[in-house]
Structure 1
Amino acid sequence: MTVSTDRTAVLAGLSIVVAQASINLGAVFAKSLFPLIGPEGVAALRTGISALILLAIARPWRSRISGRQWRWLLVYGLVLGGMNLMIYWAFRRIPIGIGVAIEICGPLGVVLVTSRSLRDFLWLALALGGLALLIPWPGRAQPLDLAGIGFALGAALCWALYILCGKRAGEVGSTTAVSIGMTVACLVTAPFGVASAPAQISLHALGLGLVVAVLSSALPYMLEMRAMGQLSSRIVGLLSSMAPALGAIVGFLVLGERLTGLQWLAVAMMIAASAGCSLAARAPVAKARDDVMA
């Protein structure tokens, strides 16, 4: 391996890490918008602005798409919209790092369904053990909001469906699929956003919505698309597994979200499970949340 190849691989790895940091920083900006327009309004702004950006980049109207492919794209987009709403509802009630850690259960569930290896079940057991540490059992000090955990699990389910549907939707090309999927996602988020939005939305809120869309969707998508051609799927999955830790750190630095020692242990267990599955699996299970554009 030449020095040039080494440098390219390092830069690609840094791109994945920066993309994950960008997604979590976008989540922080999104959470700061909740008092102004609610999580529903933030989800609607994010998907709407992201859709416009992605449509301009991909120009999917130039692609030839069959009726069967349109059906998969529709399901893919609806799941993507649900994932956006669910994770923001979770972030309103629980710290960002914990929400992201719980969300990882979705890809791990896909591994369980498609795996024949006992080792993958052990990774899933580790993740479930981490989840059990987060459940607000009676008598536990500083219990987490149970509804927040439920919404994060809902986002995890949507993420699993997103991966499964994405394989079929991606037949039209990843950029085209994501641009159309994000547009369809607006059909889910827009009604909730309109219903919860105030009579007038300030320019400040719209500006922050643009920041959220760029940080959580457009920027990480471009970074990941460039990096994935330079790295193996296992390395991509391993680096993406850092997302919960980055979310917890950014949430603490910007929003003052403090995790207890037990909660940090739970997050670490889920990160280890995700990283273990990524290294063992043929395809990455910790796909970027915003391949995601989630």
Structure 2
Amino acid sequence: MSVLSDLLGPGSVRLGVDASDWRDAIRAAGSLLVEGGVAGDSYTDVMIENVEKNGPYIVIAPGFAFAHARPDDSVTRTGMSLVRLAAPVEFGHEKNDPVTLVLALAAVDNTAHRQALAALAKVLASPRKKAALDAAATPEEVLAVFESGAAAAPAEPVTEAPAAEVPVAAQPAGASATASSDGPVVAGKNFIYTVCGNGLGTSLFLKNTLEQVFDRWGWSRFITVEATDTISARGKAKDADFILTSGEIARTLGDVGVPVEVIEDFTSEAEIDAVLRRLYAL
């Protein structure tokens, strides 16, 4: 059994759900967390308040919303739920609306669900797997798509890794650097924050995809990526070379003294690859 199977079972998946708006969609996913004994009704209210406060940043990929919040006293264990809507609804996202799939996460900490999010990201990045999710007739078929896609290779084309024996380009554009046989010697900090409202959900999702790009480049041992929340990011932004986040969270952060780069599709290695190349002047 995979970590994903531990957190998302057939009883936590519902298809053909009617929702009149995004709040109804989140309530539908939240009700499955309640039925599964993962969290109480108050947690669903907090997930809705999270979007009301921060905007539709939880719509992290075309047609996909990742509802979550900081745990309240009603959260008893880490778990997930998934609803596929009978008709798509608008969350207010400029690029990724309308939404058909809503995944809800309730987490007791920021570690237990990391591997599950990595598996989900690989599935959602594949157009073939995403189509299979849309066509699945039963919760069991939905879970089979996730399980079969957990080890799948990225489906979208990305450009080749930077052509350098040593990643001397691992520095913000404009910084000076020299190379050594032991690795890069750079003026930058080689540290990146991914940021969301709570530091538990979408920021981890984005961190997973970012690290997959660095894995492909062979840069993972040189770059540290940390997921964090908006409040923490404001206080420690200057520890990083730059921040990656959603448009809504970028507006919330404002000027934090380092570049804040917006990612529209948190599952897209190609989009993140292009942003990194521009930031590092590759």
Structure 2-normalised TM-score?
0.29
Q: Which structure is higher in strand share? A: 2
Q: Which has the higher contact order (CA 8 A, sep 6+)?
A: 1
TM-score normalised per structure 1? 0.28
